Amino acid sequence: MTGGRGAVSIEPTQHREPAIVRIGHISDVHLADRSRYPRHGITARDCERHSARLARDLLEALLEVGVDHLVVTGDLTLSGEPREFERAAELLRPWADAGRLTVVPGNHDVWTESALDAARFLRAIGADGRGMRRPAPTYPHVAPVGDDVVLVGLDSARWGEDPRATAGRLGGEQLRTARELCRAHQMEGRATILALHHHLVLPRERIPSDRATSRMPLADADQVIRLVADLPVAAVLHGHRHCAFRVDVPGPERPTPVLCAGSVSRASDEPVRRARAFVYQFDAGGLHGVEALVAGTA
């Protein structure tokens, strides 16, 4: 067939290169209003374990290396005190203002009944860091990062009479919605990343802080492990344990990395617990790289 007036021209197929996005991950900031302690079973000395300056320095380092989106996996405060939330909001404001922030609450953000009743986390911070004038259920929170990657924030923080022995829980509704989201984005060819506060598994090596976190597990961790086994999840990001680690769990096509960021503010000489932030590279195919920014090693 020859060309000419009226001939249909067909554009050559465009093979779009999968776009890499860079996601920053920090956790367990534990900002403390020192003047308020001792209270809630927490001593004034406990405040010294974490340094706001380390968190600020690592957030600046993330800005310098450049990330498309930042995820904070909970425990922004030491015990959910109002001033602690104010300071957390100040710290994260540049990211929130730029619309590049996803935050999930941790068990310390609902440490007291009053913090929970006043919905302090949602009012001051919320899922996008901008706070909510009228707090309302907001998780799972979906944040697209570029065209090919979707971050799903989940709320595992639960209040309990004895906060040091209270398990986290996602609950059936969040888990069902998370499943639907993973399936829907898979159909669209996007990678889904789950972010929550509590760990799914504790790795075999033990450090003293495991003793505390093992009394506050995620009650329905088995359901998340099952979700990840059934559907392609690019990664699960979490905190809670103040020590960074990676565990790969079985997925339908390939292992899914479960990444704990440790604490971004931990003042520790032990290399394993030193404050750090992470940068991950993702595209529609999953995780392609991990960079660690470690305090005191720049």
- Please say which residue, 28 or 128, places its beta carbon nearer to Fe ion: 28
Among 24, 80, 105, 106, binds Fe ion (CB under 5 A): 106
Cα 228 from Cα 255, distance rounded (Å):
9
Question: How far is the CA of 188 from the CAs of 149, 184, 232, in angstroms?
Answer: 10, 7, 12
3-class state of residue 69 by DSSP: strand
Q: Residues touching Fe ion: how many (CB under 5 A)? A: 5
Query: Quick one: CA dihedral 291, 292, 296, 297, positive or negative?
Result: negative
The residue from 28, 81, 84, 148 that contacts Fe ion (CB under 5 A) is: 28
**Does 109 interact with Fe ion (rule: CB under 5 A)?**
no
Q: Burial, 174: exposed, middle or buried (Cβ in 10 Å; 0-12, 13-18, 19+)?
A: buried
Binding mask 66-95 for Fe ion (x = CB under 5 A): ---------x--------------------
CA 226 to chain centre: 20
Cβ nearer to Fe ion, comparing 240 with 276 = 240
Nearer to Fe ion, 26 or 231 (CB): 26
SS3 196: coil
Nearer to Fe ion, 107 or 256 (CB): 107
The single residue among 107, 156, 166, 223 that binds Fe ion, judged by CB under 5 A, is 107
240 lies in the binding site for Fe ion (CB under 5 A): yes
Q: Which is nearer to Fe ion, 206 or 215 (CB)?
A: 215
Q: Does 223 bind Fe ion (CB under 5 A)?
A: no
Relative to beta strand 276-283, strand 21-26 is: antiparallel
Question: At its nearest, how many Å lie between Fe ion and the CB of residue 164?
Answer: 11
Give the pairing of strands 149-153 and 191-195. parallel
Q: Which residue is nearest to Fe ion (CB)?
A: 75
Q: Which residues bind Fe ion (CB under 5 A)?
A: 28, 75, 106-107, 240
